[in-house]
Amino acid sequence: MKSVFVIGHRNPDTDSICSAICYAHLKQILTGQEHIACRAGQINPETKFVLDHFKVEPPRYLASLNPRLSDVQYRDVPGIRADLSLRRAWEYMNNNNIHTVAIVDEDNHLQGLLTLSDIARFYMEDLGADALAAAKTSYHNLVDVLGGELVVGTAENRFEEGRVVIGAANPDMLEEHINEHDLVILGNRYESQLCSIEMNADCIVISLGAGVSRTIKKLAVAAGCAVIATPMDTYTCAKVINQAVPVAHIMRKNGLISFHPGDLVEDVKKTVSKKRIRYYPILDEDGKYIGMVSQRNLLDIEKQQVIMVDHNERDQAVEGIDAAQVTEIIDHHRIGALETTNPIYFRNQPLGCTATIVTQLYHENRVEIEPAIAGLLCSAILSDTLMFRSPTCTPIDRYTAEELAKIAGIDIPTHAVAMFRAGSELVGRSMDDIFHIDYKSYQVKSKRIAISQVTSVNQEELHELKPQMLDYMRSSLEKSGLNMMFVMLTNIIEETTELLFVGHNAAELVQIAFQQPGGVDSITLPGVVSRKKQLVSPLLAALEDESIAD
């Protein structure tokens, strides 16, 4: 069965990462199916501290859920060499049940494509007497197709001039039909064989399994004429001999369309929808052939199953969420606009942390919580509730964290302070990096805003950060595609936030939302530490005001 991805929101925080890891672990125990914890962004310092402390590997980074060719079940049938005969190419295609085969060189670089239609077209349109010479057919291919033996000559040499002639007439008439360099198919008549050699034929094919006399061999060697003996009759020889033509003669070399494993399926579909070709080669990053994909493969692609944790809105989800099959959502935020094609398990509770819900699921399913898992879950709760200071924190969150701390063997105040200090290390980091440590965007009507939160236990550090962050916000607003940008500079110990803002009508919006005057670019909000419960709701409610939305 295909793996299920368990993933949090973009710009993940500690709850998003730890809940994904712990819920993936639980689901794998319960179902036996592989569940892979993933992340949609970079891990912040606080989360890194937690993972390092409990010796847990970070989740897999997932930039997008948009399917790529690497997700498609394409065929990995090896390519063939350009000097292979049409007969062998036809057999290869039939044996592997394929209609198109890649022609590759010794390093597996693509040289061309051959289809069954190309072979049929060659037989219907190009069966001239000079086809073997035009294709520079090797004697190896001729012997192979005729099922014969090269009595005189070198297998690597090629038939490059002349036509194919059937030596059915008597020697007198043959002299009028055989030209220099021709290939002559004849029987066991010594006179005709001798005549062909004397007329400077490049090759004679002796049919019906007839023996080749010592004299004919000697004369052929002297004249540089190749001799092939075959058990086939003359008619069969004439019918199959053009199958010796190498595929290089009829393969498609120009205008080839190829793709790479990293190409988006949607982009590939747009390209192939305009073509009447059924199969396309896939090349690796070095341009080497690795397989063949069909239009049917693109239509039959299986959607990636995904479990969303700590979010339920499309704007906060990993890119390409619409291309995936969401099977579950575990969250503690407001319910946004995310549609699913089928009913799903959706668990949304008004708690301070998604990890609290995940802990409940462990208990409900009677699965023992290991110390490392307990440590991650406890850390997530302490992070999201700011060690129980946030108004989003409920008695259930606190009780759960204390229970988990005992299993993990940690002291809550000591661990929380160390975790917060690790997360508030801002020295040497760019403003863009700091802004995106804990960042979420929201859409109301035609307005799109972003709210970032920077937490610290050091007020001086936050004070020094303010002017640099405002400069960054002003310079970044226009190119960000946002209407307004907000940054919460939150002092965890003092339980206060200075809210920075830029954008048209941002100051007016803040004044309406919090019913108090502020500056032109900032306002102090005592007791405000929670983005979700204390900031998002009043801001989004104020955005609904028609005077602000216009």
Mean pLDDT of 173-190: 88
pLDDT attached to residue 523: 95
pLDDT attached to residue 544: 83
pLDDT attached to residue 422: 87
CATH code of residue 52: 3.90.1640.10
User: 510 lies in a domain?
Assistant: yes
Query: Which domain covers residue 50, as residue numbers?
Result: 4-67+303-423
pLDDT attached to residue 545: 73
User: 29 lies in a domain?
Assistant: yes
| Lowest mean per-residue pLDDT among 24-33, 75-84, 122-131, 255-264 | 122-131
List, for residues 232-262, the tens digit of each pLDDT value.
Answer: 999 999 989 999 999 999 999 988 899 999 8
Most confidently modeled of 67-71, 336-340, 425-429?
A: 67-71
On whether both 241 and 186 belong to a single domain, the answer is: yes
Mean pLDDT of 373-377: 98
Mean pLDDT of 512-535: 89
Q: Which of 103, 91, 166, 94 is nearest to 129 (CA)?
A: 166
Residue 547 has pLDDT above 70, yes or no: no
- Provide the domain count of the chain: 3
On whether both 131 and 244 belong to a single domain, the answer is: yes
User: 93 lies in a domain?
Assistant: no
Mean pLDDT of 221-237: 94
CA dist., res. 303 & res. 51, Å (int): 30
Is the separation of the CB atoms in 331 and 313 below 8 Å?
Answer: no
pLDDT attached to residue 550: 52
Strand boundaries in 232-311, DSSP class E: 279-283, 289-294, 305-309
Mean pLDDT of 299-313: 89
CATH code of residue 223: 3.40.1390.20
On whether both 480 and 513 belong to a single domain, the answer is: yes
Write out 333-388 in H/E/C secondary structure: CCCCCCCCCCCCEEEECCCCCHHHHHHHHHHHCCCCCCHHHHHHHHHHHHHHCCCC
Mean pLDDT of 266-275: 84
| Lowest mean per-residue pLDDT among 68-72, 149-153, 281-285, 478-482 | 68-72
Question: At residue 229, what are phi and psi to the nearest 5 degrees?
Answer: -105, 130
On whether both 449 and 501 belong to a single domain, the answer is: yes
On whether both 445 and 522 belong to a single domain, the answer is: yes
On whether both 60 and 149 belong to a single domain, the answer is: no
pTM, entire model = 0.65
pLDDT attached to residue 378: 98
